[in-house]
Amino acid sequence: MTATTVEGAVQTEVVRAPRPAPARIPFSRIVTVELRKSFDTRSGFWLMASIGILAVIATGATILFAPDDQLTYDNFAAAIGFPMAVVLPVIAVLSVTSEWSQRTGLTSFTLVPHRGRVIGAKLAVTVGVGVASMLLAAAIGALGNLLGSTIAGTDTVWDVSALELAYIVLANVLGMLIGFMLGVLLRNSAAAIVGYFVISFVLVPLSMLLAQSQAWFEKAQPWVDFNFAQGYLFNGDMSGQHWAQIGVTSLFWLIIPMTIGLWSVLRSEVK
């Protein structure tokens, strides 16, 4: 503290120590917050709960309606896989677009100014939810396989290896990443969900029809059709060429659009 005299008046100047900058929010805390945001609304809770509910319904339907000789773990996994392929990408879409549809982006990006860390946390939660959901579904399918074979009085058939199960989990995570990419790119829930259904359920039959009618596209299809290349993972028969085809199609259908979407998110005005 110092004192100076100006025209007979005494002024006191207080020298203050510089205020330390606040500590950076840990990435683990951002991930925890994003995970909690997936459950803390009624719609979010029931959307997440639908994973287990649909797995149980698909398992029960297989036990009730499948012939006794078709009660195998592969068929239970296939029955559960279809609703998972629909619900999981929707969860991925909403994890991103909720910041804009619910207008929470201003709060999120004010508390964590580096938007890339928020998007990275959402991506980590998306992948974690996808893996955990598929493991839960696999466990429900295993219980259904045991219960179904016991009711039918047949031998329990385990015709899906651990490696094949890992391929199925990876395939569904890739599907979730397509939904996540559309959420980042479009930032609108309805548009991103419609876009996913177009890619998954409209382009697939069109691609198959074109491959059947055009020989040149039949050869090019594994290299340009993401869903076709992704199907190798569900079949459980992977070669080096199949991995290369997944890599090439992921580059054009996933990585490049994701990069464009991230560039737009990092630079666009949040309203």
Structure confidence at residue 1 (pLDDT): 47
Strand, coil or helix: what is 269?
coil
Residue 10 pLDDT greater than 70, yes or no: no
Domain layout of the chain by residue ranges: 24-262
Q: For residue 54, what are the contacts with CB-CB under 8 A and spacing of at least 6? A: 80, 83, 84, 87
Which of the pair, 14 or 214, is modelled with greater confidence? 214
Residue 209 pLDDT greater than 60, yes or no: yes
The 10s digit of each residue's pLDDT in 104-148 is: 777 888 888 888 899 999 999 999 999 999 999 899 999 999 999
Structure confidence at residue 268 (pLDDT): 79
Output the DSSP codes for the chain.
-EEEEETTEEEEE--PPPPPPPPPPPHHHHHHHHHHHTTSSHHHHHHHHHHHHHHHHHHHHHHHHS-GGG-BHHHHHHHHHHHHHHHHHHHHHHHHHHHHHTT-HHHHHHHS--HHHHHHHHHHHHHHHHHHHHHHHHHHHHHHHHHHHHHHT---B----HHHHHHHHHHHHHHHHHHHHHHHHH--HHHHHHHHHIIIIIHHHHHHHHHHH-HHHHHHHHHH-HHHHHHHHHHT---HHHHHHHHHHHIIIIIHHHHHHHHHHHHSPP-
Kindly report the average pLDDT of the chain as a whole number: 86
Structure confidence at residue 98 (pLDDT): 84
Per-residue pLDDT, averaged over 178-206, amounts to 92
Rounded percentage of the chain residues whose pLDDT exceeds 90: 41
* Residue 161 pLDDT class (50, 70, 90 cuts): confident
**Sign of the Cα pseudo-torsion (176, 178, 183, 184, in order):** positive
The 10s digit of each residue's pLDDT in 222-263 is: 999 999 999 899 887 789 999 999 999 999 999 999 999 999
Per-residue pLDDT, averaged over 68-89, amounts to 87
| Assigned token pair, 120 | 């990275």
Structure confidence at residue 241 (pLDDT): 93
Per-residue pLDDT, averaged over 74-80, amounts to 88
Per-residue pLDDT, averaged over 17-38, amounts to 81
Residue 8 pLDDT greater than 60, yes or no: no
